[in-house]
Chains A and B, each alone.
Chain A
Amino acid sequence: MRRHAVLWSMVVLAVAMLVPFVIVVLNAVKTPAEYATGGPLELPEGVSLDGVIAFWDRVDFGEKLLNSAIISGSVAVLAVVVSVCNAYALGIGRVRGRTWVLVVFLTANTLPQEALVYPLYYLADAIGLYDTKLAVIIVFTAIQSAFGTYLLTSTLSGFPRELLDAARIDGASKWQALVRVVVPISKPTLGVLFVFFFIWTWNEFFLPLVLLISNENQTVPVALGVLQGQRLMDATMTSASALLGVVPAIAFFLLFQRALTRGITAGAVK
């Protein structure tokens, strides 16, 4: 009985988290006229995909998806690699002054992006990277890996020493110890980091808006933003764009579930 009460309370929480998504879907399949007369909460009479199709064509959404995927994917991979290297030196290597090094790394994550915008724009323009995906990849790899460094350093500082010592006795170099011992054991955390980096980068709006000015380089959130802040915003098209913005993110999340689930099963087995 009580077990089910706990289960149901969790289900209620989950449903509450999902309500806004339902509202997005409802409005994405309405016609503008339905929305204009009924508002956002009326049930649609049928499924009209006109808004979705119109938005897709208007911003060439396929291209935006590809751009976002390239940028988020590169950043997620690079930032995980950089984070692992940093955390290896700080958490296991215990480099001198590591608290301060950590603080410096964290600055990357703490700075309000508004403070970096103008300098980054000027630097990018000066070295010919303004309006290139590479600029955004470099910037976000730095920002995300700063966070990853901090998280991994915390977890690696509690890494079982005896495992490392055993590897060393077997004659493994530092590099081999990292690749064969540290990385495999940290896999669940690395998987989580990868997912976070991917999704955070996917949803970044402000810096891509400033650094990627031409449409062929734009990312999904910037394309969504193009419709917003117009003096006239057609709400059905906005929801359609919202739906198109949510779907890929959910798809990735489901793909990444495997990486996250390992953590749970490890706790539940035995």
Chain B
Amino acid sequence: MKNFLTSNNTLEIFYIIIGLFLLYYAYLTWKDKEHQAKIGTIIFWVILAILFIFGRWLPPSVSGVLVVIIAIDAGLGKIGKGKYFSTSKEFREKRRKELGNKLLIPILVISGMAILFAIIGWNPLIGLGFGSLIALVLNKFYIPKESLEHILDAGRSSSDAIGWALVLPPFLAALGALFNRAGVGQIIASWIQAIFPVENLFWAIFAYAFGMAIFTIIMGNAFAAFAVITSSIGIPIVIQMHGADPATIAVLAMTAGYCGTLLTPMAANFNIVPGALLEMKNKYRIIKIQATMAILIWVTHLLVMYIMAF
């Protein structure tokens, strides 16, 4: 039982349920007479459904081909929005007065289950999954007239709004893995060593923090940057040549990398997907607003590294 509530394998149940949702979105798209991009959107949802339901059992090369197909499909703009059972402003205002805080129940159940699972030491993602299913059932109590079709149509509407940005995060993770195998990290590290006069303490710290940030900006992932930049700059130069405290400098290097995460569209799940979720016009507005804070905190890192690690 404990294993069931902590293991990532349990998530397969939720992946299969998501896959079924997506197949239903494809069906609703097929029925949708006013859809802008019917065929491309159906292909997108069906293939994504296959990856969710059968992903664990598919040979990696087959999954790879399917991922490439949906990337091309979505990347060439073949997916689009349709017509949904939308509600009017007047209706929502009327329902708000009737339902009041009951409207908050689903979100509280979902977040609450995730937090509860985390506190107990189970996998919070499993809590999120169960919370979502409970929330779906609870909907029946205060909106009994809505059919499952209406509920899933609401899901389709939000998912269509996210569109291509939906698959970008796992797609970027795949890119990171490819860059890693191709040896991109080592090349960048050797360039940074050649550029900065690292026998000087300031430039050594600067090169480490800069390397973390720039590599994170390119890869969209500070974790990938850490191993490469620490083995090429952090350990030989900052720790061995200048005598920095390993624990302190390593942790600060990681958050210096996070400053880069705030600046890059490559970190799509933090900077691009939220914009899509919020239906923002400008996809880069979040990065723009984060930039000043990111740069200030990065500069502060140089100072904190100098004070704390030596």
Q: Do A and B bind each other?
A: no
Q: Which residues of A contact B (CB under 8 A)?
A: none
